[in-house]
Structure 1
Amino acid sequence: MRLDRGLVKGFVAMASLVALVATLVPVASAGSNQPIRLTVYNYLDATSPAAHREIEEVWKAFERANPDIILEREDMFGEPFHQKLEAYAAAGRLPDVIYMWPGGRSSTLHTKRLVKDLTPFLGDMAREFHEAALAPQAGGYLAELPIAITATHVLYVNKGLLDSLGLPVPTTYEELKAMVPALRAAGKDVILMGAQDDWVVQSTLFSMIVGRLAGDDFIDRVLAGQARFTDEPFVRALRFYRSLFDDGVLNRRIFQTSYNEVNGLFASGRAPFLVDGDWKTSNFLTDPTTGEALIPPDRQHEFVLTVFPAIPGEVVHRTTSMVPGVGFAMSASIPAGSAKERAAWRLIQWLTSPEVQRIRLETGAAFPSRKNVTSDRLEPLAQERARFYERVGGTYVLDNVLDAQVYGPLNVGLQEIGLGLSTPEQVAASVQRALEAWRASR
Structure 2
Amino acid sequence: MTITKKMLSIALVLLMVASLGFARGAKEDASATGKTNLTVLNYIDMSEPNSAREVEMVWDVFSKENPDINVIREDLFNEPFHQKTEAYAASGNLPDVVYMWPGGRSTSLHTQHLTKDLRPFLEKDGLLDDYAPAAIADQTAGYLAELPNGITSSHMMFVNTKLLKDNGLSIPKTYEDLKHIQSVLKPKGIEVIGMDNKDQWVMQSCLFSLIVGRYGGASWYDDLAAGKITFQDPWFVKSLEIIDDLYKSGLLNRNTLDVGYGNGRGNFATGRAAFYIDGDWATASFMTDVSTGKALITPAAQANDFDMIIFPALPGEVLSGTTSGVVGTGFGISANVPAGSAREDAAWRLVKFLQGEYVQTYRLSTGASFPSNLNVDVAKVIKDNNLEPFIEKRATFYQKYGTTPVVDAVLHSDVFNVINQGLQEIGLGSKTPAQVASDVQKAWVAFNK
Could you tell me the TM-score, scaled by structure 1's length? 0.91
Task: Identify which of 181, 186, 189 aligns with 1:187.
Answer: 189
Q: How does 1:285-300 map to 2 (within 5 A)?
A: 285-300=287-302
Task: Identify which of 417, 428, 433 aligns with 1:419.
Answer: 428
1:382: which partner in 2? 391
Q: Does 1:153 align with 2:162?
A: no
Question: Match for 1:335: what amino acid?
Answer: P
Q: Distance in 1 between matches of 2:66 and 2:203?
A: 41
2:373: which partner in 1? 370
Task: Identify which of 333, 338, 341 aligns with 1:338.
Answer: 341
1:118-164 Cα offsets, whole Å, 9 max, x none, are: 00000221101111101110010000000121000001001111111
Superposition deviation, residue 32 in structure 1: 11
Question: Match for 2:357: what amino acid?
Answer: P
Percent of aligned pairs with the same amino acid: 51
1:284-331 Cα offsets, whole Å, 9 max, x none, are: 111111011111112111111110011111111111100010000000
1:262: which partner in 2? 264
Task: Identify which of 409, 419, 423 aligns with 2:418.
Answer: 409
SS, match of residue 75 in structure 1: strand
Q: How many residues align?
A: 410
1:399: which partner in 2? 408
SS, match of residue 292 in structure 1: coil
1:142: which partner in 2? 144
SS, match of residue 167 in structure 1: coil
- The range that moved more, 69-78 or 370-379, is 370-379
2:22: which partner in 1? none
1:251: which partner in 2? 253
Q: Distance in 2 between matches of 1:199 and 1:260?
A: 13
2:240: which partner in 1? 238
1:97: which partner in 2? 97
1:278: which partner in 2? 280
Maintained 8 Å contact 1:323/1:396? yes
Task: Identify which of 196, 204, 207 aligns with 1:205.
Answer: 207
Question: Match for 1:221: what amino acid?
Answer: D
Q: Distance in 2 between matches of 1:156 and 1:86?
A: 33
SS, match of residue 45 in structure 1: coil
1:246-273 Cα offsets, whole Å, 9 max, x none, are: 2221110110111121111111111110
Q: Distance in 2 between matches of 1:226 and 1:187?
A: 46
Distance 1:283 1:367, change over 3 A: same
Maintained 8 Å contact 1:161/1:272? yes
Task: Identify which of 111, 127, 130 aligns with 2:129.
Answer: 127
Maintained 8 Å contact 2:36/2:342? yes
Superposition deviation, residue 401 in structure 1: 0.2
1:317: which partner in 2? 320
Superposition deviation, residue 432 in structure 1: 1.1
Superposition deviation, residue 334 in structure 1: 0.5
1:35-94 Cα offsets, whole Å, 9 max, x none, are: 000100011011111312310110111112211101110111111111110111011110
Q: Distance in 2 between matches of 1:217 and 1:122?
A: 30
SS, match of residue 38 in structure 2: strand
Unpaired segments of 5 or more residues in structure 1? 1-30
1:166-189 Cα offsets, whole Å, 9 max, x none, are: 110111111111111111112100
Give the superposed CA RMSD: 1.3
2:17: which partner in 1? none
SS, match of residue 200 in structure 1: helix
Q: Distance in 2 between matches of 1:159 and 1:52?
A: 31
Could you tell me the TM-score, scaled by structure 2's length? 0.89
Unpaired segments of 5 or more residues in structure 2? 1-30
Maintained 8 Å contact 1:210/1:234? yes
Maintained 8 Å contact 1:50/1:364? no
Task: Identify which of 356, 360, 372 aligns with 2:359.
Answer: 356
Superposition deviation, residue 219 in structure 1: 2.1
Q: Distance in 1 between matches of 2:203 and 2:258?
A: 13
Maintained 8 Å contact 2:93/2:336? no
Maintained 8 Å contact 1:285/1:295? yes
SS, match of residue 367 in structure 1: coil
Maintained 8 Å contact 1:52/1:288? no
- The range that moved more, 302-311 or 216-225, is 216-225
Q: Distance in 2 between matches of 1:280 and 1:181?
A: 28
Question: Match for 1:117: what amino acid?
Answer: D
Q: Does 1:174 align with 2:176?
A: yes
